[in-house]
Structure 1
Amino acid sequence: MSSSDDPAHRPLRSFGRIKSRAIKPRQAALFDSLLPAITVPDPKAGPIDPKALMPEAAAVWLEIGFGGGEHLAEQAARHPDTLMIGCEPFLNGVASALRHIEEGGLKNIRLHADDARDVMTALPDASLDRVMILFPDPWHKARHNKRRLIQDETAAEIARLLKPGGGLRFVTDWKDYAEWALEKFERTPGLVRQVDPSDDWFKAPADHVVTRYEEKKLGDTPPIFLDFRRV
């Protein structure tokens, strides 16, 4: 058994519940009819080659924790020549994403209904053009900060996966998590922050997609945007 399969060596779970309310019958049916065709290969079975998932793709983007899939689907619709890999362990979110994919007739999305870190480990160096992390679980209590997705190890893994010139976008509506993530990213070799001329981290990038989750304003601050470039 490898260290990654040993429970004592697995990274702490960075997400909360994996299911809440009952999934609607139509969405539940998509787990059988659509999901198998667009599922990322099992990352624990070996390396994953993005080119094999969509040979004609001009670029490869990864969204870590896509929530209900609104952002993932809209970006896929805007960039049909880009392979969008989305990872989300919350099954209700996966169900919602499947509905968006079906309704949009989107052919450039591949899903992993589990921890994104497994997929990241299986991807080769410099294989991604963009990594997107929007509103991850903030794990407020100090004793739970170790469960936050953004750790030094995660930041280093993102830097490994990004192509030179590739971008990282992190968005949160919790100020302490923004400060936490900024510190981790800024000390990661290879990642350089792309600062807006106004130095306003509340200014949404032109290509940002507002989702229903963002509109709920559940955090303690307006959304904070951190963009980094791989150099």
Structure 2
Amino acid sequence: MPEKKGKSPHHGSGAPWRNFYGRLKGKHLRPSQKTYLDEDLAALSPGPVDWDANPERRNLDLKALFGDRPLWLEIGFGGGEHLVHQAEQNREAGFIGCEPYINGVAMLLGKIRAAKCDNIRIHPGDVRDLFDVLPDASVAKAFLLYPDPWPKKRHHRRRFVTAEHMEPLARVMRPGAIFRVATDIPDYVRQTLETVPKHGFKWLCEGPEDWRQPWDDWISTRYEQKALREGRVPHYLTFQRD
């Protein structure tokens, strides 16, 4: 992916001291996608996340959003196919998806319209800003699926599996919560297995099949299909919050 550096995405509404690395927008949006963004995105906001709307960093009212349903979180949902699949299969849960790439947000909105899911909310920006306003121990399950690999060694600090991200993730996940990571990059597997357990997570693995085989409720994403076409091997890692 082309690299872009700037402040947290979406009109300077993120934390002013956080640099953001990654794509915010592709070459073009189809007219239908622009319609989804104009008509649907605001109504699917989880609440005031951005700093201009919530400078005091008040916690989101999850009960108002989802009632007593457990909260599941997808960090970087890409085109949204996995998020919608999970939401359809788990109507008893409420979902928040984070994705700064606005083209991916538009794709998800189209899928939500088609599936008529009413249990998804979207933060179109940096997940670190969402962590600021999630209550402690509020997340029952989290997904990190084919994150940006940042392959160059000097860029490894930008990966999600660093203390900057894992410390707030650990804070918002409840004891016993499940954290799933899928990646096709061996060095990302290495860093994940080195870093995640240091932040209060146990790797649930009894043998090779536990990371070689996808989860029973898995739906293969466009990123996984690309990895398979290019001969890379997916890894499926499951962790549990202490």
State whether TM-score is above 0.5: yes
Mean CA deviation greater in 196-205 or 160-169: 196-205
The match for 2:172 is: 161
* Distance in 1 between residues matched to 2:69 and 2:125, nearest whole Å: 26
1:66 maps onto 2:72 in alignment = no
In structure 2, relative to structure 1, the CA distance for the partners of 1:213 and 1:198 (3 Å cut) is closer
* Distance in 2 between residues matched to 1:120 and 1:180, nearest whole Å: 22
TM, length-normalised to structure 2: 0.86
- 1:52-91 matches, cutoff 5 A: 52-55=64-67, 57-91=68-102
The match for 1:192 is: 202
Mean CA deviation greater in 16-25 or 135-144: 16-25
Q: List 4+ stretches of structure 1 deviating above 6 A.
A: none
Deviation string 1:10-58 (CA, Å, 9 cap, x unpaired) is: 2x42x41111131111121011211111112232312212222122x42
1:27 maps onto 2:33 in alignment = yes
The match for 1:95 is: 106
Q: Is the Cα–Cα contact under 8 Å of residues 210 and 237 in structure 2 kept in the other structure? A: no
User: What SS does the corresponding residue of 1:187 show, helix, strand or coil?
Assistant: helix
User: What SS does the corresponding residue of 1:144 show, helix, strand or coil?
Assistant: helix
**Paired letter, 1:30:** Y
The match for 1:136 is: 147
1:182 maps onto 2:193 in alignment = yes
Deviation string 1:165-191 (CA, Å, 9 cap, x unpaired) is: 110001111000111111001222x21
1:118 maps onto 2:129 in alignment = yes
1:50 maps onto 2:56 in alignment = no
TM, length-normalised to structure 1: 0.90
* Distance in 2 between residues matched to 1:85 and 1:210, nearest whole Å: 20
Q: What RMSD over aligned residues (CA atoms) do the two structures have, in Å?
A: 1.7
1:207 maps onto 2:207 in alignment = no
Q: Is the Cα–Cα contact under 8 Å of residues 138 and 173 in structure 2 kept in the other structure? A: yes
Q: Among all aligned residue pairs of Structure 1 and Structure 2, give the percentage whose two residues are the same amino acid.
A: 39
Structure 1 unmatched ranges of 5 or more: none
**Paired letter, 2:47:** P
The match for 1:127 is: 138
Structure 2 unmatched ranges of 5 or more: 1-13
* Distance in 1 between residues matched to 2:113 and 2:15, nearest whole Å: 34
Mean CA deviation greater in 26-35 or 194-203: 194-203
